[in-house]
Chains A and B, each alone.
Chain A
């Protein structure tokens, strides 16, 4: 009897699914035929809950969506609300926001590097990545009091001003990060085992990538230079000088490479934001009870996972009528099957890791 096709279940509890994701795999011996993700194990009903909270009360809950990059979520939502309400954010607040969000991008990519390397077997990189991340989390803790679910970006600006002490601390951290990055790169970049497991694995062509709605580093790894910070700049990103790293082959190695390069670019941006910090307020004058006349606004940002967007609809009261989140991980995960088909079963972990998904964002 020829025993060819096997159905396997991965998750929802699994050390390498980056959360409670269930994957139903169909494999032919070791080659993957079909991958079907089953979602909903972390569906918390956020969008429904937001309809019963005020605009400002929604902001801390957005932290819990992409919990590795909380400030990005805060920023995306606050920008959508400010667009809807016509609130003008002061320049100083915009620069501080950029510094915070780019630091958050550093933290998110370092954690991702750790997780992905750990999944493939390089456990030291997990410890290196998290140690580097701790420096950044110390800064967040000093600035807003929390390490992970930060809630530092508020409607109209940021939570408080930055002073010279904090700026010098941030600069000290920015000095240290490149050394840690060198450690990680020395371990992985030219590592033969790493390359055998990542080069040529999980390829997706540029045209397919756009059609599947892929955004963020996985799309840029396929050679498509789509970065919302450059395409539709927000929060004064057009004042800063930075490159958008691109990959060539669209495989797992390129996605890894693009993210590490983005870490270098983020360091540049934070330095420029701190150097050029203008005088002014750190927050616009926003009424304590914010009521927005009926309307609808959509705003996107480039979060570490991809293009994150919020649609906010108001009905004249102090609570939003509907808040819909365009989640990059949710859309990126759709292309998992395309990337995994034809690869070996053991590559599924590497491909899933390279997509950098966060279940909080997928399941809302």
Chain B
């Protein structure tokens, strides 16, 4: 929790700005494309909606090389442990974006096999609603995530590793 009255040394504030500027403009998504939302995610990365404008065109196949976990599609109970393991394999700093109604809260499937929301197993930073969200919606969600990253304080975590998010 950032205390707005806390006085930050000038150097650290500038360092924060620089680090977050670099982070938010070069997020590497780990496209965990599970279902229909994955197709819209790929359409966002394709030529018309062009996620490369944001520096995010490099979808990594391995979680160890990525820092943004886009959960695109329905998470089933069978897939949930796999997803958790993938999240754990991602190095810090990392962010998660729940794309689509299924990832947010189970979507239209209140059934025996569907996890009712991926935030039951990983901490989610941004929820993008829609079934599926349009590419414009996903880009809007990514821009909100960029704003969230811009507000964060990476120097605080570097100087005090125990303050790092526990998840």
Contact = CB atoms under 8 A, between A and B. Distances in A.
Task: Judge A-B direct contact (beta carbons within 8 Å).
Answer: yes
B71 to A, nearest CB: 11
Interface string A110-134: 0100000000000000110011011
Interface string B33-50: 111101110110011100
Nearest to B110: A49
Given A148-B40, A360-B35, A41 B112 contact: no
A148 B34 contact: no
A105 to B, nearest CB: 16
Nearest to B49: A134
B11 interface: no
B108 A61 contact: yes
Interface of B is mostly: loop
Given A15-B61, A44-B109, A126 B46 contact: yes
A148 to B, nearest CB: 6
B132 interface: yes
B165 interface: no
Contact of A43 (B48, B76, B110): B76
A43 B78 contact: yes
A111 to B, nearest CB: 7
Interface residues of B, number: 34
A19 B35 contact: yes
B2 to A, nearest CB: 34
Contacts of B108: 49, 60-61, 64
30 contacts: A12-B79, A19-B38, A20-B79, A42-B74, A43-B76, A44-B74, A44-B109, A44-B111, A44-B113, A44-B114, A45-B112, A45-B113, A46-B109, A48-B112, A49-B109, A49-B110, A64-B35, A67-B35, A67-B39, A131-B46, A131-B47, A131-B48, A133-B43, A134-B43, A134-B48, A148-B36, A148-B40, A149-B131, A149-B132, A359-B35
Interface of A: 12-15, 19-20, 40-46, 48-49, 60-61, 63-64, 67-68, 111, 126-127, 130-131, 133-134, 137, 147-149, 359-360
